Structure 1
Amino acid sequence: MTTHYYIRPLEITPSDNVHIIVAAGSGSRYGGNLPKQFCDLAGRPLLMTTLERLHAATPDWKLIVVLSAEMIDEWLKMCGEHDFTLPHLITTGGATRAHSVRNALSLIPADSQAYVSIHDAARPVITTTLINRLIEGLPGSDGVIPACPVTDSIRRVGADGSSAAVDRSSLRSVQTPQIFPAPRLLAAYRQELRPTFTDDASVMEAAGFTDLRLIDGDPHNIKVTNPGDMAVAELYLNL
Structure 2
Amino acid sequence: MEKVSNKYAIIVAGGSGTRMGTKIAKQYLAIGGKPVLMHTLNQFFVLDPAIRLLLVLPEADFSYWDDLCQKHDFSIPHQLVKGGKSRFASVRNGLDSISDNTGLVAIHDGVRPFVGGQVIRHSYETAAVKGSAIAVIPLKDSIREIEGPDKSVFRDRGQFRLVQTPQTFQLAKIKEAFSGGEKEIFTDDATVFEYMGWEVCLIPGNPENIKLTSPEDLDFANYLLNKREGSI
Unaligned runs of 5+ in 1: 1-14
Residue 236 (str. 1) matches residue 211 (str. 2): no
Residue 66 (str. 1) matches residue 50 (str. 2): no
Select the structure that is richer in helix.
2
Tell me which amino acid in the other structure corresponds to 2:73: D
2:39 is aligned to 49
- What does residue range 133-148 of structure 1 map to in structure 2 within 5 Å? 133-148=122-137
Which contiguous aligned blocks of 4+ residues in structure 1 show a shift greater than 6 angstroms?
none
Shift of 1:161: 4.5
- What does residue range 197-208 of structure 1 map to in structure 2 within 5 Å? 197-208=186-197
2:141 is aligned to 152
Shift of 1:170: 0.4
Q: Distance in 2 between matches of 1:172 and 1:132?
A: 20
Unaligned runs of 5+ in 2: none
1:195 is aligned to 184
Please give the secondary structure, in 2, of the residue aligned with 1:233: helix
1:130 is aligned to 119
Identity %, equivalent residues:
38
Q: Distance in 1 between matches of 2:46 and 2:77?
A: 13
Q: Distance in 2 between matches of 1:159 and 1:188?
A: 35
Tell me which amino acid in the other structure corresponds to 2:207: P
Residue 113 (str. 1) matches residue 110 (str. 2): no
Shift of 1:159: 4.2
Normalising by structure 2, report the TM-score.
0.91
192, 196, 210: which is aligned to 1:222?
210
- What does residue range 75-94 of structure 1 map to in structure 2 within 5 Å? 75-94=65-84
Please give the secondary structure, in 2, of the residue aligned with 1:147: strand
Q: Distance in 1 between matches of 2:86 and 2:106?
A: 18
**Equivalent pairs, count:** 223
Any idea what the Cα deviations from partners look like across 1:90-137, whole Å, max 9, x if unmatched? 11111211110001111111x521100000001001222111222232
Any idea what the Cα deviations from partners look like across 1:42-100, whole Å, max 9, x if unmatched? 11111011011111112111010010122222111111111112121111111211110
Tell me which amino acid in the other structure corresponds to 1:123: R
Q: Distance in 1 between matches of 2:55 and 2:18?
A: 20
Any idea what the Cα deviations from partners look like across 1:137-170, whole Å, max 9, x if unmatched? 2233120011111111212223435322222110
2:9 is aligned to 19
66, 86, 89: which is aligned to 1:99?
89
Residue 163 (str. 1) matches residue 152 (str. 2): yes
Pairwise CA RMSD of aligned residues? Answer: 1.5
2:201 is aligned to 213
Q: Distance in 1 between matches of 2:192 and 2:154?
A: 29
